[in-house]
Amino acid sequence: MYRLRPLSPALLLAAALAFGAPAMAAEDDSTARPQTVDFSAEASQAATNDLAVAVLYAEHHGPNPAAVAREVNRHIAAALQTASAHTDIKAQSGNTSTWPVYAKDGQGRIESWRMRSEIQLESGNLAAMSELVGTLQASLALSQIVMQPAPETRRAALDEATVAALRAFERRAALIAGSFGKRYRIASLSVGDSGMQPPIMPRMRATAMVAEAAPAPLEGGESMVSVHVNGRIELLD
């Protein structure tokens, strides 16, 4: 018959720590990790479309590719020369492309060549821009006109929208924390903005533009700049 010997105090302490560790860890873990809430806020700000960007082009086709290129380049060079007289309008060459036109006999025979070359105009002087576009339509076709905020105008609107979005995030954070009767602190935050969709004048046929050759009516209007804030808060006792 074996007699049980009493455990030493050291062994009793070790056993107590071993069995009590999981419960203590769970309690400490819940204390170290406060409740978190993820949410987002957004704000928008109107930005004046004070910059006009126009794209015009010359297009020609014929059996001789060199002759076609000379004709197109002649119109583009003349247009750039005309635009250079307007110091408040930025003018530059745009996309140029040449492609073959195949005969319809199904033999893969090249019948002629077609070339298209663009110029781009950019200005905050809408009246001067309208006049120049109308003048150039005597020899070029108008592809499109885009009204958009100038870079500095967009930055100013973006700053205002950012401040408004952050304030909206703070208000919502206080509302959420207050609903639980707790305080809060921001654990993470990210700020981003969305692209704009400025109004675009529809593409028009070259024949109609050459026939009219009149100033293009330009109305700036506004574009909306949006900023979104995504973040996480920790609820505090």
Dump pLDDT digits (tens) for 11-37.
Answer: 344 444 444 444 444 455 555 688 999
pLDDT tens figures, 91-122: 999 999 999 999 888 788 899 999 999 999 99
In the chain, what percentage of residues exceed pLDDT 90? Answer: 70
Model pLDDT, residue 108: 82
* Chain mean pLDDT for the chain: 84
Q: What topology does CATH give the domain 51-148?
A: Alpha-Beta Plaits (3.30.70)
Sorted by where each begins, the domain ranges of the chain are 35-49+150-207+223-237, 51-148
Q: What is the pTM of this model?
A: 0.70
Mean pLDDT of 121-144: 95
In this structure, are residues 190 and 230 in contact, taking their beta carbons and an 8 Å threshold?
Answer: yes
CA–CA separation, 140 and 79 (whole Å) = 8
In this structure, are residues 142 and 94 in contact, taking their beta carbons and an 8 Å threshold?
Answer: no
Model pLDDT, residue 178: 96
pLDDT tens figures, 162-207: 999 999 999 999 999 999 999 999 999 999 998 665 544 444 433 3
**Per-residue 3-state assignment (H helix, E strand, C coil) for the chain:** CCCCCCCCHHHHHHHHHHHHHHHHHHHHHHHHCCCEEEEEEEEEEEEECCEEEEEEEEEEEECCHHHHHHHHHHHHHHHHHHHCCCCCCEEEEEEEEEEEEECCCCCCCEEEEEEEEEEEEEECCHHHHHHHHHHHCCCCEEEEEEEECCHHHHHHHHHHHHHHHHHHHHHHHHHHHHHCCCEEEEEEEEEEECCCCCCECCCCCHHHHHHHCCCCCCCCCEEEEEEEEEEEEEEEC
What angle in degrees, to the nearest 10, is found between the helix axes of 126-136 and 65-83? 150
Q: Matching CATH topology for 35-49+150-207+223-237 and 51-148? A: no
CA–CA separation, 135 and 89 (whole Å) = 14
pLDDT at 65 > cutoff 80: yes
In the chain, what percentage of residues exceed pLDDT 70? Answer: 77
Q: What is the CATH number of domain 35-49+150-207+223-237?
A: 3.30.110
pLDDT at 59 > cutoff 80: yes
